[in-house]
Amino acid sequence: MTSSTRPGATVTTRVLVTGVRGKTGVPLAELLAARPDVEVLGGSSTPSTVTADGVLPTAFSWDEPDAWPSALDGVDAVYVVRPDRVDAPGLIADLLAMTAPATRVVLLSERAAEDVPEGTDGWAVRAERAVRDSGRAWTILRPGWFMQVLTDPRFFLDEIAAGELRYSSGGASLAWIDARDIAAVAERALLGDNRDGEVLELTGPEALTLETTARLIAEAGGRPVTHVEIPIDEALTGTEGFERELTRVTFERVHAGTFAVVTETVERVTGRPARTLQGFLDDHRQVLSPGTGRPAARSPRS
Ligand SMILES: NC(=O)c1ccc[n+]([C@@H]2O[C@H](COP(=O)([O-])OP(=O)(O)OC[C@H]3O[C@@H](n4cnc5c(N)ncnc54)[C@H](OP(=O)(O)O)[C@@H]3O)[C@@H](O)[C@H]2O)c1
């Protein structure tokens, strides 16, 4: 496309970012909006809450397919945040069928998706297959656990504020990845940086035990935090149905060491090393410091 909704700019690429308010959507929209030749449509189920500079709030809900054609109008590339629900493979296939044939698609999937068959009928792979079989140019991102869960009150922030990182690791390490690095990879793939047909396994630069993770958080926040190993069943508290099964499989994969494997994909794609947990925590000292936690419901997945 060559039209523009930005005064003075010639837009050559229009990108729909689904989940624009999410952990990867926020930094991705920021990167794309900084480019004068890119128009960013920020997809959200509540578009009135999309306030990022240079981002066009766009109604997008997996529950409202009638609105998809409007969200996809004139779009050259779409960032698909996989919805973690049982019907995701069909929803993704239906969405992509509504895109123009030349549309480039980047799917946010998860690390080693082929290891997610148990109890979920190969759901993660089927979600990816919907993209592979779409007939569009595609790239699949497979990140490990995001560092951002450590500063998110829906995940671990409140427990950290109380001095504990309660996590079921089975003694395995995690190569935490900064969602900003996922966004940097997604940006390149969306803008056609020769990533078509690639499955990118994304991790941080080092695998850390939960004990080390807790120690680094404690040092950054200036207050004691210790790792408390809990059984998987306790980690599932507050989840039910498909989300519960998916979360169980995720923690079983943590125990098996799936998330301990380090890849160099971020550096290969972006040309700079993946961010360290230490660097992430330095950037988030304020939220980790005493007096900043707040009570909220906890869910280990989105
Ligand atoms: N968190 C991790 O450590 C991690 C690791 C690997 C893979 N992943 C995968 O990455 C994906 C996203 O996870 P996340 O943790 O990044 O989640 P997140 O930050 O909570 O983002 C989820 C997004 O989904 C959007 N959303 C909610 N309901 C929606 C609906 N009905 N229709 C359309 N969009 C809706 C939300 O935006 P609105 O409310 O504005 O619609 C939000 O932006 C999941 O598939 C997850 O399995 C996560």
CA 185 to ligand 1 center in whole angstroms: 17
Tell me: pLDDT of 100 over 70: yes
**Cα–ligand 1 centroid distance for 302 (angstroms):** 5
For the segment 285-292, the average pLDDT, to the nearest whole number, is 84
What integer is the mean pLDDT of 163-170? 98
- Is 302 touching ligand 1 by the criterion CB < 6 Å? yes
What pLDDT band is residue 292 in, cutting at 50, 70 and 90?
low
Q: Structure tokens of 142? A: 């497979």
Q: How many CA atoms lie within 13 A of 152 on its CB side?
A: 17
Q: What is the DSSP pairing of strand 137-143 with strand 104-108? A: parallel
Select from 222, 220, 254, 248 the least CA-distant residue to 235: 248
Distances (CA, A) of 234 to 26, 191, 247: 31, 42, 11
**Among 131, 138, 130, which Cα is nearest to 102's?**
138
Q: Which domains does the chain have, with CATH numbers?
A: 13-288 (3.40.50.720)
pLDDT value of residue 2: 41
Residue 301 above 70 pLDDT?
Answer: no
Spell out the long-range contacts of 42-48 with Cβ–Cβ below 8 A and sequence spacing 24 or more: 42/17, 43/16, 43/17, 43/18, 43/19, 43/71, 44/19, 44/20
Q: Ligand 1: which residue has its CA nearest to atom 7?
A: 110
Is residue 300 scored above 80 in pLDDT? no
DSSP 153-216: TTTTHHHHHTTEEEE--TT--B--B-HHHHHHHHHHHHTTSS-TTEEEEE--SS-B-HHHHHHH
How large a percentage of the chain has pLDDT more than 70?
92
207 lines ligand 1 (CB under 6 A): no
Closest residue to atom 24 of ligand 1, CA basis: 19
The mean pLDDT value for 123-146 works out to 97
Alpha-carbon dihedral of residues 148, 150, 152, 153, nearest 10 degrees?
170
- State the residue for tokens 């230490």: 278
Predicted local distance difference test score (pLDDT) of residue 262: 98
Closest residue (by CA) to atom 20 of ligand 1? Answer: 302
